[in-house]
A and B are shown apart, each in its own frame.
Chain A
Amino acid sequence: MRTNRVAVAALAVGLVAASVTGCSSSKKKSGSSSGSDRGPITVVQGKDNNNVLPDIAALWNKDHPTEKVTFRQQSDSADDQLQDLEQHFQSKDSGYDVVSVDVVWTAEFAAKGWIVPLKDQYNLDTSKLLPATVKSATYNGTLFAAPASSDGGLLYYRKDIIPTPPKTWDELIADCAKKGSVKGCYAGQFANYEGLTVNAAEAINAAGGQIVKEDGKTANVNTPEAAKGLDFLVNGFKQGYIPKEAIGFKEEGSLNAFQDGNLLFLRNWPYADSLLNTNAASKVKGKFDIAPLPGPNGHGASSLGGHNWAIGAFSKHKATALDFLKFAESDEVQKLLINKASLAPVVTSLYSDPTLVSKFPYLPVLLKSIETAVPRPVTPFYPGVTKAIEVNTFAALQGQKSTQQALADMQSAIQSATSG
């Protein structure tokens, strides 16, 4: 009886010990280097809401029977995607051959040595691509990723009230007088989140200002140009051409306001175009059009959205991965992405493709927007830099500090974040 109990206890200990060690050993992947860096690859990206990945996989697998691609989908949220990538790279996971990185993470991943520089044996031809997208994939003068899809800000305007869209901020402000029964005039995304960085960067860049210098770590935002840019937004709230509730707007909130007919002008991404025409609740169907964003003297400078493909530094099949990157820049894949998932192409020539333009009439305007786009600060300290922009811009928009003070604080906060 007693020996029995001892045996049971020992068994219990053994089981726990086994499960613990089993846990740690299963994590280690057998790393047999085959010498050749070709073979099946895993491509990691966010959730595929439009079911476009099976098509891409079929297209690739047809020509690469021995180097098949497997897609691994992460969560829907950008924060979760970033965290997933960080964890897998920190543990040097060789299973992440190709990863989809948001344009703003690219510099950090490059500086941490998690993605492979696309030079020498991994050289990638970018001559067909939009220059702004290539810039967003470049860190310290080296290309680190292949642009996958792009995105730029557009000005949505009520063509039934304003027949010709404003080219400058002054014209936009003057047009506000004609709004009649429309409640508010202009809005973008001004809640305290990443979208505010996008909008603030657009205003600052349009006025000829800069946030971080080319080296990615020297702040250069406390300038008269930047002040002029930020003042466009600050004065909007002060003088009322931006409605008060816009301080809580994210993409969806601002879209709803425009769709309800409460805004004359809206800054948003291309995705809004089809929603405004198809949403059952939309009161502006057929009553709006799009134009490039205005600036102080002529067209403004959009921030750049989109994703890049990069080769994971711990991949065992880097040559195959590079082929996949080249494949992703092909017209075929780029067309698949816009047709099925509304992701704007990075290949310049597709913006004048007649079939695409008839299906997506915003493409020529979007091209203009992306051609003059300025990437958000390309810096390995992006989380700290965007926080500095968000918090101080928000305080200025709320009238808690002057534009001058906000920029001075932004300057020192960025400096502190990039000195870490």
Chain B
Amino acid sequence: MTIAGPAAGSAQTTPTSPPKAVARNKIKTGEGRLAWMLIAPTVLLLAVITGYPIVKALYSSFQKDSGLNAATGFFDQGGGSAGVSNYKHWLLQQCPVQGGGVGKCPPGTLGHEFWPSLSVTVGFTVVSVAIEAVIGMGMALMMHRAFKGRGLVRAAILVPWAIPTAVTAKLWTVVFDPNGVLNKVLGTNYQWTSDKWPARAAVVIADVWKTTPFIALLILAGLQGIGAELYESAKVDGASAWQRFTKITLPLVKPALAVALIFRTLDVLRMYDLPKILTGGANGTSTLSILVVDQLQQGPNSAAALSTITFIFIFGVAFLMVRIFGANVTGASKGGTK
């Protein structure tokens, strides 16, 4: 985000800064200076509310957490450079052992949970976003058609998205209760929230239920931009329904779909509330964000390192996705209007 800050600033100023000589002239006349003054509050505000915490977190991630002084039984002040040891703790699984030094992180420590958490987070992301994309596409196609009661269907589909995540999680806890609705309906006896795979499935189900409408809505917006005459001429040319979907709908809806997928991917990678309330992060459903919060209690500097790792990871994924989809996420026009 440190990168995003100045970049966004310069993007805003580019249109107003013509070739150098003119620019200097403008500054002389005061218009350039005025531009700067006008955006100064925004830049200042961004620096204070976004820049400062990031820099501070980055700084703390290289600091030592306070340790217990064996002689007095009190905690030392902490601080002092820790080098990259906080990062090595997570990435290389180096935990403190008795009598000083580091060793492998034993099960039951937060360090031990780093790689499992990372894979669980990625797993949630891949599975839920894939399911949401497919169902969301179906919903969008349905909402796009003109039929009686379309307004009602659209409203019904959007309801889950309008419910706060915490409430969603609580609702699903009732459904997933061992004596709850789902087991009764399915005739099963799963421990939905206290067994590894059912718990993971539960998180995915609740997430898909809640956020598919979001994807559907974005896709619907894309669908509405496709002219009906395209379909008509395709029909005249004898294209089947499947051909019209793959050759017309998909390519034309791709930009909207890409934006939806990227937003959802980043969302799931940062997911905290849903598994926290549904399973407490137990049973192999602890995401990276949950791990960060747990670690905060045990050592804030080490937590800062973990959140930096998470931040860089998510940033990397976002970057890759933008590259792959060539998505127009930020709204910056590509060689169009310039």
Chain A residues in the interface with B (C-beta under 8 A): 2, 5-6, 9-10, 12-13, 15-17, 20, 82, 111-113, 139-140, 191-193, 216-217, 244-245, 247-248, 380-381, 383-384, 387-392, 394-395, 398, 409-410, 412-420
Contacts and interface: CB of A to CB of B under 8 A. Distances in A.
Contacts of A381: 68, 298
Interface string B39-69: 0110011001000000000000000010110
Interface in B74-127: 74-75, 95-100, 103, 105-112
Contacts of A112: 74-75
A140 B37 contact: no
B194 A191 contact: yes
Given A245-B191, A392-B108, A413-B108, A16 B75 contact: no
Contact of B67 (A6, A16, A248, A420): A420
A413 B30 CA distance: 65
A13 B40 contact: yes
B297 interface: yes
Nearest to B69: A111
Interface in B171-193: 178-179, 189, 191, 193
Interface of B: 30, 33-34, 37-38, 40-41, 44-45, 48, 65, 67-68, 73-75, 95-100, 103, 105-112, 178-179, 189, 191, 193-195, 280, 282-283, 294, 297-299
A383 B107 contact: no
Nearest to A243: B178
Contacts of A17: 44
Contact of B280 (A191, A244, A245): A191
Contacts of B40: 9, 12-13
B194 A248 contact: yes
11 contacts: A6-B37, A111-B68, A111-B75, A112-B75, A113-B74, A193-B280, A247-B191, A392-B107, A410-B108, A419-B100, A420-B67
Contacts of B37: 6, 9-10, 12-13
B291 to A, nearest CB: 11
Given A9-B38, A9-B40, A140-B73, A409 B106 contact: yes
A387 B109 contact: yes
A139 B109 contact: no
A419 B97 contact: yes
Contacts of A389: 108
Given A112-B75, A394-B282, A387 B38 contact: no
Contacts of B75: 111-113, 380
B275 to A, nearest CB: 12
Interface centre among A13, A139, A193, A420 (most CB of B within 10 A): A420
- Interface of chain A: mostly helix, strand, loop or mixed: helix
Nearest to B33: A6
Contacts of A6: 30, 33-34, 37
Given A139-B73, A192-B280, A247-B191, A413 B106 contact: yes
B107 A413 contact: yes
B107 A387 contact: no
Given A248-B191, A420-B67, A420-B68, 8 more contacts: A9-B34, A13-B40, A113-B75, A244-B189, A381-B68, A416-B105, A419-B96, A419-B97
A216 B178 CA distance: 38
B73 A111 contact: yes
B298 A383 contact: yes
A5 B31 CA distance: 10
B181 to A, nearest CB: 15
Contacts of B191: 244-245, 247-248
Contact of B41 (A16, A192, A420): A16
B34 A193 contact: no
B73 A413 contact: no
B178 A248 contact: yes
Contact of B106 (A216, A217, A394, A416): A416
Nearest to B31: A2
Contacts of B189: 244
Contacts of A20: 44, 48
Contacts of A380: 68, 73, 75
